[in-house]
């Protein structure tokens, strides 16, 4: 048996084994208890866009309600997801003896609630928070800025995952 055929058979056996044990990729479709949702946010942000994409990928029709944007009359949403707050914070937590920044704490906080159209709370105001530490060096500022952007992106993805899991249990 040649090497290619053997590798193909091993991959096929692994796929069959994983399928049989109930393995699912992280981020696989969640079953949500509603089909239509109004996503109401104070401003457009990367969390709003990521959450909207995740909801749509899960089969939910999403109406995006931003300040100054008119909503269509139909379909009438089953629930309203209010994104009340989306804050990025950056704090210095360590300095050198010369007063230069050595370590930063990056924090992302999102406050949200889930309600019915008549205002009944399904999930009360909830805050999700992610934190990451970033070692900082003045000599590599551009690299650290790129690393900071990646860390904020990672925090956004983690918050959206947490929010989707909580919505699936509403």
Helix (H) or strand (E) holding 88, with range, is strand 79-95
Each residue's pLDDT tens digit in the chain (170 positions)? 577 777 776 676 676 666 666 555 554 567 889 999 999 998 888 999 999 999 999 999 999 888 877 766 667 899 999 999 999 999 988 888 888 888 999 999 999 999 998 989 999 999 999 999 998 877 777 788 899 999 999 999 999 999 999 999 88
The whole-model pTM stands at 0.77
- Region of residue 159 (phi > 0: left; psi between -120 and 50: alpha; otherwise: beta): alpha
* CA dihedral sign of residues 129, 153, 29, 84: positive
Helix (H) or strand (E) holding 115, with range, is strand 101-116
The two structure tokens encoding residue 31: 């079953």
The Cβ of residue 83 has, within 10 Å, a number of other Cβ atoms equal to 20
Residue 153's nearest CA partner among 79, 50, 65 is 50
Residue 164's nearest CA partner among 112, 106, 108 is 112
Query: Could you check whether the bond before residue 87 is cis, i.e. omega within 30 degrees of 0?
Result: no
């Amino acid at each position: 048996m040649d090497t290619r055929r053997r590798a193909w058979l091993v991959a096929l056996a692994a796929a069959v084994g994983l399928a049989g044990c109930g393995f699912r990729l992280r981020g696989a479709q969640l079953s949500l208890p509603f089909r239509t949702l109004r996503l109401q946010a104070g401003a457009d942000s990367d969390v709003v866009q990521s959450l909207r994409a995740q909801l749509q990928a899960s089969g939910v029709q999403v109406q995006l309600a931003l300040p100054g944007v008119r909503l269509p009359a139909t379909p009438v949403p089953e629930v309203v997801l209010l994104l009340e707050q989306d804050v990025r914070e950056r704090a210095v937590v360590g300095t050198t003896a010369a007063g230069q920044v050595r370590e930063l704490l990056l924090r992302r906080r999102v406050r949200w609630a889930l309600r019915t159209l008549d205002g009944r709370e399904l999930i009360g105001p909830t805050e999700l928070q992610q934190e990451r530490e970033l070692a900082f060096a003045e000599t590599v500022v551009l690299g650290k800025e790129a690393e900071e952007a990646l860390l904020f992106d990672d925090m956004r993805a983690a918050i959206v995952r947490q929010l989707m899991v909580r919505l699936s249990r509403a």
